[in-house]
Chains A and B, each alone.
Chain A
Amino acid sequence: MVANLTCKRGTSHLKNKTEDNKTYSNIVTTSAVSTATFEAQSLECIRDDRVLFDDLCFTINPGEALVLEGRNGSGKTSLLRIICGIRLPESGKVLWEGTDIFHLGPEFHEHTAYLGHKDGSKQDLTPLENLRVAQGLGKARDGITLEEALEQVGLFGFEDVPTRNLSAGQQRRLAIARLLVTDAKLWILDEPFTSLDRKGIEQMERLFEEHLKRGGMAAMTTHHRIGFKEEVKLVRINLSDR
């Protein structure tokens, strides 16, 4: 699904419409299982005096994934950093269940997991120790042990090997395992498939699919064509075409 996601600021007609949408979503969410909804309102990002994007709006609902596309340097990573709260947008805001994430702080972050360019794993620790820290930093997910998470990303048997001895692809898998051990609803993934082999990519796609089926959400950038087996609602935004 390709959506035209530009909104005009200050247009009263559209403003009314978004308000309508909000009341509508409130009605839905009271009856639905999950109430989490993620919304970006007219985001603008300026970097080195260049406007990377402006007036960017989108929503992500449970079970949906946002896929960002665009040339190198089109602002994909900047957008992801904005929506996870590391970077502040020039204007506009990011809402989690209707509240600005800037005001929510850690309350928002317990629902998110971020996988950036850098894996965020310590080279001197073992995969198991790295996962333990990752789990402690977030809200631990019930029903999965650290060993099971490692097994799901294909690192079974590497629990006690120092992370520096793992290959680049294996280190990426470890970073993905981090997503599995916390109770995060929104996964923010920056090129999650880097240095993974073909089978690894397929495995990871299955994990993402399962996450979405559980009612999770995802926002990701990737140059790889995602091949979800089942019907998953993808919202695509191309930052170069805007």
Chain B
Amino acid sequence: MSTLSLTSAFTLLLKRDMTLAYRRRSELVNPLLFFVLVTAMFPLGIGNDPKLIEAVGPGVIWVAALLAALLSLDAMFRSDFEDGSLEQFMLSAHPVSILVLAKILAHWLVTGLPLFIAAPLLAVLLNIPGDAIPTLMLTLILGTPVLSLIGSVGVALTVGLRRGGVILSLLVLPLYVPVLIFATDAVKTAIVGIPTTAQLSILSAMLVGSLVLAPLATAASLRISLS
């Protein structure tokens, strides 16, 4: 297979998933709505102590983002599994890992990117100082793809199960913890005014590592789920 047709298969699949997401817009809004509602409810629950809200702010935004990602994960392969499209991917003339990467990218574009765009607004709501907002955005743009990538492995393993939801959270959440720790720590450090290069470097390393390994693991897991 030439690289050209592989690239075209990648873009074709990406376009297909984006079209499908657009035609099911109502499902698309769900994770974003969850993200916004959870972060908006927190200050109301905590009370009007700006110092306290500022202290929990980064954590709240990241936990909400993490759970929003988890909420939308199951949809990544579920409908393809049910209507037999997944079998067709496995029998494609292209490496499955590349096709999987296209699906993960589509998933991130419809679930991760909206969170990234909504985050500055919520940061203001949570009293996070303006100087730390760029760092928050950086952690989100580096971290949310990792959530989609790691999540795809979990979904691929559980897609064949009838009730995979609980197992999926148990599988995936522990793997999300390092992202959560380094991302929130980066934002907290930025609030204090200390350079955050270390945390951001580790997050970048996580992104690169999962970008390389997760599609391979997902392809192998899908093969197990289907056989």
Residues of A within 8 A of B (CB): 81, 84-88, 105-106, 109-110, 112-114, 116-125, 129, 132-134, 136-140
Q: Name A136's contact: one of B8, B19, B226 (CB within 8 Å).
A: B8
- CB-based contact A114/B23 at 8 Å: no
Bound-state CA distance A113–B93 (Å) is 10
Q: Which residues of A contact B82 (CB under 8 A)?
A: 118
Listed stretches B42-50, B83-91, B104-112, B154-162; interface member: B83-91
* CB-contacts of B97-137 with A (<8 A): 99
B13 at the interface (CB under 8 A from A): yes
Bound-state CA distance A118–B83 (Å) is 6
- CB-based contact A136/B13 at 8 Å: yes
B163 at the interface (CB under 8 A from A): no
Residue of B whose beta carbon sits closest to that of A85: B91
- CB-based contact A124/B9 at 8 Å: no
- CB-based contact B20/A125 at 8 Å: yes
Q: What number of B residues sit within 8 Å (CB to CB) of A?
A: 29
Q: Which residues of A contact B20 (CB under 8 A)?
A: 122, 124-125
Bound-state CA distance A119–B80 (Å) is 11
Q: Name B88's contact: one of A110, A137, A139 (CB within 8 Å).
A: A137
- CB-based contact A134/B88 at 8 Å: yes
12 more CB-based (< 8 A) A-B contacts, given A119-B83, A137-B93, A138-B93 = A85-B91, A86-B87, A106-B93, A106-B96, A120-B85, A120-B88, A122-B16, A122-B85, A125-B16, A125-B23, A137-B94, A139-B1
Bound-state CA distance A81–B20 (Å) is 28
Min C-beta distance of A102 to chain B, whole Å? 11
Where chain A touches its partner, the secondary structure class is loop
Q: Which residues of B contact A136 (CB under 8 A)?
A: 5, 8-9, 12-13
Q: Which residues of A contact B91 (CB under 8 A)?
A: 84-86, 109, 112-114
Q: Which residues of B contact A116 (CB under 8 A)?
A: 84, 87
Min C-beta distance of A219 to chain B, whole Å? 13
Q: Which residues of B contact A129 (CB under 8 A)?
A: 16, 19
* CB-contacts of B1-42 with A (<8 A): 1, 5, 8-9, 12-13, 16, 19-20, 23-24
Q: Name B84's contact: one of A105, A118, A132 (CB within 8 Å).
A: A118
Bound-state CA distance A132–B19 (Å) is 13
Residue of A whose beta carbon sits closest to that of B20: A124
What are 9 A-B pairs with beta-carbon distances under 8 A? A106-B1, A113-B91, A114-B88, A118-B87, A120-B84, A120-B85, A122-B83, A129-B16, A139-B5
Bound-state CA distance A129–B85 (Å) is 13
Min C-beta distance of B15 to chain A, whole Å? 9
Min C-beta distance of B86 to chain A, whole Å? 8
Residues 51-93 of B, flagged 1 when their CB comes within 8 A of A and 0 if not, give 0000000000000000000000000000100111101111111
